[in-house]
Amino acid sequence: MNEKEKRPSAWFRLWPWLAAALSGVMLALCFPPCDVGGFAFIALGPLLWAVWMKKPARRAGWYHFRLGYVAGLVFFTTTFSWLSELAGLFDSKMLLGLPLLLAAFLSLYPATWAWFAGWIVGGHFKPVPLPDPTEPFSRPPLLLSTRNLFFSLLIAALWTALEWVRGWLLTGFGWNALGVSLHTELALIQIVEFTGVGGLSFLLVLCNAIGLITILRLRAEIGRVRLRPHFDFSLTVALVVVVFSYGARVLLREQSKEKAEPLKDVTVLQVATIQPNIPQQWKLESGHSEEIVNRLRYLHGIASSAGPQLVLWPEAVVPGGMFSDEETNKFVLEQAAQVPALLIGTDDNDRGAPGEDHNSAALLLSGEKAPHLYDKRHLVPFGEYLPLRWALGWIAGSLVPGDFKPGREVGLFKLKEPALTLGPLVCFEDTLGELTREPVLHGAQLLVNITNDGWFGQSCEPEQHFVNSIFRAVENRRPLIRCTNTGVTASMDSFGRVTRWLPPFQELFASKQIKIPNHGTETFYTRHGEIFSIGCAILSAFVIILRSLLLLRRDKVS
């Protein structure tokens, strides 16, 4: 055979990269705007196939890392393509590359996972000889269910751990964790009251791995050996059934309770939300203050006539903030006087010390002159502050000229009539499980998110923000209301059942009743937070260290 015949074909060299890219595409399809959550059960299969079918080589780890990076690059660039909307807003073509820039960093996570998936498995799933018919107890590695399940559990744990790290490292951007794709599967998502979204991600990665292993095993067995059940597949199916059954039981029990006694042990709160749909360009340009104020006055006047006990305005909706000048402050107080309680989002400049600016929520109660304030604790990088300003100031300093100061206190607002405790969440804070559980620990009975979401035009960003927030209600068994500038204005009850109040990108108001449990219990997640994901991180670190030591010892012996 000549050298040309020995050289692998172009297709042989290309298919692993196409498989990795296919995984990235399928992952993106799991989230809005496509929102086909079922793909999450198979989306990682092509990437794992490319990793596991690569013959062991000296630089196989680097090869697997690059495959994972390609999958991540396709996924994150596609799913966060709405970031490019900022280019038109700031009239800067450089910002068209923001999705790719963010993806270049976030792709390190799936790349690390792909490296681990190949490294921990080694040659376990490569083509191997079939069992010797004269040796009834011999089994090639591919047919060993115990090992298959063990490896699958490990790679599921690492994926979960990496999603947890992505949620807090460098302030974190944990949007669109794999488990979020199941937001419409109410029976499956009830488990997050124990595990958080990490538990769903773990389950999905396990299904991806065991599903691929089952296909590889069947390919090896069909027509060559007697087919028989394997408990790795059976246990995985059983786990999905258990999770589904638990959720179905919880939902059926709640539905029966609501049907028999719909108003027992609940407080009914009449809430009105206004969705002003103010273009973000108006907020960046001067000269639109009067138009914004008139729109707010008009919508608030209609909303207040519906007899609400609480009216919500979205994040940073008042031009310059309610404390910017006497006239603006007077306008806000006049609107607040028309209702028992008004909760608004406002910028709050120079409070505490010159240059200390806050993105705040303010509750104004009837009969009280001073507002109750909550300062946003989790700031958005490159939006509300510039990370490493000393190094990046020359690049993005003009886009983020100043930094907001993060709040330090857990937000709690108390209504008088009815007597309720609210947990305010500003902007993206409703996508953060650890932050959201804190007001619930301090007694919050209802979670309220006020957000803008007008920065990204009529893209899928508001919908992605919305589906990420659904899990906060289920994790803590507390209803959550969202009041937004452009949408999605909606509510979800303690079981993730969604009620959309208004269509997005329209200037409207809505008034509805919210049922709030009087004696909401603290869930396991509320008390312990991301302990499941942290456990996965500890397990992953232990396995990596142990295997590394064993390999070093083997190399020394050899």
- For the chain, percent of residues with pLDDT exceeding 70: 88
Examine residue 525 and state whether it is found in any structural domain, yes or no: no
Question: What confidence tier does 292 reach under pLDDT thresholds 50, 70, 90?
Answer: very high
Catalytic annotation, pick one of 30, 207, 427, 536: 427
Q: Is residue 3 part of a domain?
A: no
Say if residue 270 is in the same domain as residue 248: no
Which whole number is the average pLDDT over 42-59? Answer: 84
Q: Would you state the torsion angle of the CA atoms of residues 463, 466, 471, 473, taken in this order, to the nearest 10 degrees?
A: -150
pLDDT score at 558 = 64
Tally of CA atoms within 13 A in the half-sphere of 510 that contains its CB: 21
- Residues 281, 410 within the same domain: yes
87: which 2 tokens?
Answer: 């280019």
For residue 486, the 8-state DSSP code is S
pLDDT for 4 equals: 52
Which whole number is the average pLDDT over 174-196? 98
**Mean pLDDT of the residues in the chain:** 90
Cα 352 from Cα 92, distance rounded (Å):
35
Q: Give the tokens for residue 373.
A: 């304030």
Whether 460 is a known active-site residue: answer no
Which residues, 6 or more positions from 470, have their beta carbon under 8 angstroms from its beta carbon? 183, 189, 492, 496, 498
**CA atoms in the 13 A half-sphere facing the CB of 457:** 11
**Distance from C-alpha of 418 to C-alpha of 181, rounded to nearest angstrom:** 36
Q: Tokens 């209702």 appear where?
A: 339
Q: Is the domain of 40 the same as that of 68?
A: yes
Residue 447 and residue 327 share a domain: yes
Strands (E), 416-458: 420-426, 446-451
Measured CA to CA, the distance from residue 36 to residue 492 in angstroms comes to 21
Same domain for 337 and 281?
yes
Tokens at residue 254, please?
């709640």
Domain of 546? Answer: 9-257+540-557
116: tokens are: 């681990």
Note whether 328 and 224 are same-domain residues: no
Asked if residue 534 belongs to a domain, the reply is: no
Residues 152 and 245 in one domain: yes
Q: How many domains does the chain have?
A: 2
φ, ψ of residue 261 to 5 degrees: the values are -140, 80
Same-domain check for residues 239 and 295: no
Question: What CATH number does residue 364 fall under?
Answer: 3.60.110.10
Q: What gap in Å lies between CA 63 and CA 57, rounded to an integer? A: 9
59, containing H or E segment:
none
Residue 58 forms part of a structural domain:
yes
Total Cβ atoms within 10 A of residue 534: 15
- The better pLDDT of the pair 405, 107 is held by 107
Q: What span, in angstroms and rounded, lies between the C-alpha atoms of 435 and 200?
A: 19
- Give the separation between CA 280 and CA 216, rounded to whole angstroms: 52
Residue 128 has a pLDDT of 47
**CA–CA separation, 12 and 137 (whole Å):** 35
Strand residue runs (E) in 310-370: 310-312, 341-348, 358-365
pLDDT at residue 140 greater than cutoff 60: no
Asked whether the beta carbons of 36 and 29 are under 8 A apart, the reply is yes
Is residue 533 a part of any domain in this protein? Answer: no
User: Residues 111, 72: contact at Cβ < 8 Å?
Assistant: yes
Asked whether residue 440 carries a pLDDT value surpassing 80, the answer given is yes
Question: In this structure, are residues 419 and 369 in contact, taking their beta carbons and an 8 Å threshold?
Answer: no
Evaluate whether 362 touches 322 at the Cβ level (below 8 Å).
Answer: yes
Are 147 and 18 in the same domain? yes
Does residue 522 register a pLDDT over 50? Answer: yes
Task: Using DSSP, state whether 345 is helix, strand or coil.
Answer: strand
204 and 291 fall within a common domain? no
Task: Specify the DSSP element, H or E, that contains 144.
Answer: none
442 pLDDT above the threshold of 70: yes
Average pLDDT score over residue span 362-387 = 87
Residue ranges of alpha helices (H) inside 107-261 are: 108-121, 145-166, 186-189, 192-195, 197-221, 231-260
Assign 6 a pLDDT band (cuts: 50, 70, 90).
low
Would you state the pLDDT for residue 439? 97
- Cβ neighbours of residue 18 under 8 Å, at least 6 residues apart? none
Q: Does residue 232 sit in the same domain as residue 310?
A: no
| Domain membership flag for residue 531 | no
Catalytic residue among 85, 163, 193, 315: 315
Q: For the chain, how far is it from start to end, CA to CA, in angstroms?
A: 34
87, 36 contact by CB (below 8 A) = no
Question: What does DSSP say about strands 413-415 and 420-426: parallel, antiparallel, or unpaired?
Answer: antiparallel
Report if residue 529 sits inside a domain. Answer: no
6 an active-site residue? no
Give 135's pLDDT tier (boundaries 50, 70, 90): very low
Q: From the candidates 376, 384, 475, 536, which is the catalytic residue?
A: 376
CA distance 377 to 360: 9
Which structure tokens are listed for 367?
């009969």
Read out DSSP for 377-401?
Answer: SSPPBTTTB-TTHHHHHHHHTTTS-
Residue that has been written with the tokens 């006497």 in this structure: 326
Query: Tens digits of per-residue pLDDT, 311-368?
Result: 999 999 999 899 888 999 999 999 999 999 999 999 887 676 666 789 999 999 998 8
Active site residue 3: no
Same domain, 241 and 278: no
pTM of the model: 0.93
